[in-house]
Amino acid sequence: MSRQTVLLIFGGESSEHDVSIVSARNVYAAMDNTKYDVQLCYIDKIGKWWLLDAWKENPQAHAGVQLAAVPGARSFVTIPGDKIIHPAVIFAVVHGHGGEDGVIQGLADTMHIPIVGSDTIASAVCWDKVITKQMLESYGIKTAPYKVHHLGEPVPHYEELLSQLGSPLFVKPARSGSSIGVSKVESAEELNAAVTLAHEHSNAILIEQALLGRELEVSVLGNPPHHKVSKVGQIIPGEEFYTYDDKYAADSNAAVVLNPDLNPDFEERVRSIAHRAYEVLGCRGLARIDFLTDKDDNIYVNEFNTMPGFTNISMYPKLWHEAGIKYPELIDDLIKLAFE
């Protein structure tokens, strides 16, 4: 049986560059080399694409020849060397800007090469938290109450925000991931600093009501209408909220609970909302959907991740492993879904 050529892309220009490398290492390790001829494409921090001859723990120091796309030919070519690669499918484990925002998906579409995960439009929609909220709310799916602030506008008065959204507040970039640029705000001084920080990552930012219940996550696998939703996992943050360090630092105090003590009816409501939201946003292949609850257990969609983490502590593969889908089988399923 001939092997499928898979172009595994990782790295990227975003602040999630290093996380992408860890995710890709795990995906690569789970790929059956009797089924797949895996070609490794590393994107460095300034956006250059490099073809590696083998997996390197420090790809920055081992970049080989550059890789260039050849639109219309469904292929990539090395520079120099003129080696031609004809991927059957692209698996882009690139988190954040340039990976989850529709950029790579658009390239794959232009080249007529299937790609694992959502298409250009769904990726772009899910990357923008404002558009995600607007679409979900138009279908009656709750998200946290919020205000949008654009770069250059006056910072809203803290007291006015308190009257509308309560305290504390969360300020976050509209286009960023992994909790980068997110701040908890409990004073006017903190608001000004938080707005400045969030705008370093996005021209549009969200000022949200804090929902002080539980942080829940589900994994979704498949293409609508046949997608399936995992059981619900819970995040116990090690800090005031689930920060970047909580998610990825080796000494994180955060806990990932795969079988939280949830009322069965409540859990089914979360899973039902996830199933519907995935359809509404046009997702394909996979997503991790994050939820927040308030003190009365009302359920709110917090965030969509169309290329969730595949690190050793990432919730997406853990929830499917708990459901009996081992890592190699999960990777096989994701690649098959790209061809549907």
Q: What is the mean pLDDT of the chain?
A: 92
Q: How far is CA 283 from CA 125, 132, 190, 226, 254, in A?
A: 10, 12, 36, 12, 28
Q: Quick check: helix, strand or coil at residue 135?
A: helix
> What is the Cα–Cα distance from 333 to 69, expressed in whole angstroms?
26
Q: How far is CA 54 from CA 38, 181, 235, in A?
A: 9, 34, 35
Give per-residue pLDDT as tens, 1-55. 689 999 999 999 998 899 899 999 999 999 999 999 999 999 999 999 999 988 9
- Which pairs count as long-range contacts for 57-63, CB under 8 Å and 24+ apart, including other chains? 57/25, 59/11, 59/21
Give per-residue pLDDT as tens, 156-168. 999 999 999 999 9
Q: Which domains does the chain have, with CATH numbers?
A: 4-115 (3.40.50.20), 125-143+211-338 (3.30.470.20), 146-209 (3.30.1490.20)
| Omega of the bond leading into 224 within 30 degrees of 0 (cis) | no
> What is the Cα–Cα distance from 261 to 273, expressed in whole angstroms?
19
Which tokens sit at 114?
């299937």
246 pLDDT more than 60: no
- For residue 311, give every residue at least 6 positions away whose Cβ sits within 8 Å of its Cβ, in sequence order, or none: 19, 22, 23, 26, 248
- For residue 137, give every residue at least 6 positions away whose Cβ sits within 8 Å of its Cβ, in sequence order, or none: 143
Give per-residue pLDDT as tens, 94-132. 998 899 999 999 999 999 999 999 999 999 999 999 999
Angle at 119 between CA 115 and CA 122, to 5 degrees: 150
Which tokens sit at 279?
């359809």
How many CB atoms sit inside 10 A of residue 159's CB?
Answer: 9
* pLDDT, average across residues 135-156: 95
* pLDDT, average across residues 286-311: 95
243 pLDDT more than 60: no
Instruction: Determine contact, residues 324/333, Cβ cutoff 8 Å.
Output: no
Residue 251: the pLDDT is: 60
| One-letter amino acid of 12 | G
Q: How far is CA 115 from CA 86, 146, 165, in A?
A: 13, 34, 40
The lowest-confidence range among 60-69, 186-195, 214-223, 245-254 is 245-254
Residue 238: the pLDDT is: 58
CA quadruple 237, 238, 243, 246: dihedral sign: negative
> What is the Cα–Cα distance from 16 to 12, expressed in whole angstroms?
8
pLDDT band at 247 (very low <50, low <70, confident <90, very high): low
209 pLDDT more than 70: yes
Model pTM? 0.92
Share of the chain above pLDDT 70, in %: 94
Share of the chain above pLDDT 90, in %: 80
Residue 256: the pLDDT is: 85
pLDDT band at 145 (very low <50, low <70, confident <90, very high): very high
* pLDDT, average across residues 140-156: 95
Task: Find, among 43, 28, 36, the residue nearest to 104 by Cα.
Answer: 43
> What is the Cα–Cα distance from 299 to 70, expressed in whole angstroms?
46
Residue 245: the pLDDT is: 52
